[in-house]
Amino acid sequence: MTGDNDGVMSNPIKVRIDLTQALSQRLGRQMSMMSVYKVNYIKLALRNIDDTNDNDAGMLFQGKLHHWSPSKHRINAMKLARQIENAQGEDLVGDVFGPLDNNTTYKGMRFNWDNDNQTFLATTENFSVLSGQQWDLHELFNIYEASQLVDENTYSNALWTSGRCGYPNQIGVDISMSNMISTERAIFGDEASFDIFDPKSSPFEIHFGDAPIEVLGGLMVLDLTHSAVDNGDLTTVDDEFNLEVTIGVTGWSDF
């Protein structure tokens, strides 16, 4: 990751986090997206990249961490998608939800966030009326909301005008790291003598303690949309960083 010249990133960085795949690999078992995962700890930190001798300043990134919390309507929508796949796969050879599947497969729904090919082994849609080829939560909730419009219009003073499924929870994040501090005098000569070694890391870290957040389907998305401005004349090559993501999961429940 590198910063933007004016601090507003023309190509925002999107990080998709799939707790079900991460936990499946660590626990050696198939973890379901038809579940609610309890998260009590989040840490986002920058790490230097050793590709060339270029990290001579620092950078800050800002954005939002998104997740869907469970609600009656969202869970109903996901169950509806599962019922549709069960019905559609009854007479299709090779469909993982149908009895004619000759492979050893897990029978479970897997969703993308808002487009195809965002999640490993996302479930393929068995009909062509939806956009894309795979299920995603964003489109599923939109379809479900369309079926609930009559209920919404019943109330002239409804505050939930965004629809029955609402929109994802958001947590604002700021992440920064510095290696050196350079003074403006550095651009006039003898640059090295005005570099101040000042290693400092300021990760985004939050503890939820005994009140963990609930993450529907185990999916989270980090959107980094802003950064500190580039150093201009003080840095000839942009500093580059990797992002380390640590998520603490205390448990889960299926539905």
C-alpha 203/C-alpha 189 separation (Å) is 33
Q: Residue 120 has what pLDDT?
A: 95
Burial class (CB in 10 A: 0-12, 13-18, 19+), 190: exposed
Look at the block and give the residue holding tokens 């840490």: 43
The answer to whether position 241 is within a domain reads no
DSSP label of 113: S
Q: What is the dihedral of CA 63, 117, 110, 215, to 10 degrees?
A: 0
The answer to whether position 246 is within a domain reads no
Q: Residue 189 has what pLDDT?
A: 56
Judge whether 238 and 37 are in contact, CB under 8 Å.
no
Q: Residue 63 has what pLDDT?
A: 97
Are 55 and 82 in the same domain?
Answer: no
C-alpha 215/C-alpha 169 separation (Å) is 9
Are 127 and 64 in the same domain?
Answer: no
Q: Residue 55 has what pLDDT?
A: 72
The answer to whether position 120 is within a domain reads yes
What tens-digit pLDDT sequence spans the chain (255 residues)?
A: 888 888 899 899 999 999 999 999 999 999 999 999 999 999 999 998 877 666 777 889 999 999 999 999 999 999 999 998 888 765 555 566 655 566 677 888 999 999 999 999 999 887 767 788 999 999 999 999 888 766 556 777 777 777 889 999 999 999 999 887 765 554 555 555 566 777 888 999 999 999 999 999 999 999 999 998 876 555 567 788 999 999 999 999 999
Q: Residue 194 has what pLDDT?
A: 61
Judge whether 219 and 119 are in contact, CB under 8 Å.
yes
Output the pTM of the full model. Answer: 0.85
The answer to whether position 94 is within a domain reads no
Are 83 and 148 in the same domain?
Answer: yes
The answer to whether position 42 is within a domain reads yes
The answer to whether position 128 is within a domain reads yes
Q: Is the dihedral of CA 15, 20, 23, 25 positive or negative?
A: negative
Residue 86, classed as helix, strand or coil, is helix
The answer to whether position 102 is within a domain reads no
Rounded to 5 degrees, what are φ and ψ at 2?
A: -130, 155
**Number of separate domains in the chain:** 2
Q: In what order do the strands lie in the sheet with 169-182?
A: 8-18, 219-227, 58-67, 169-182, 195-202
Domain that holds residue 115: 72-88+110-153
Are 46 and 78 in the same domain?
Answer: no
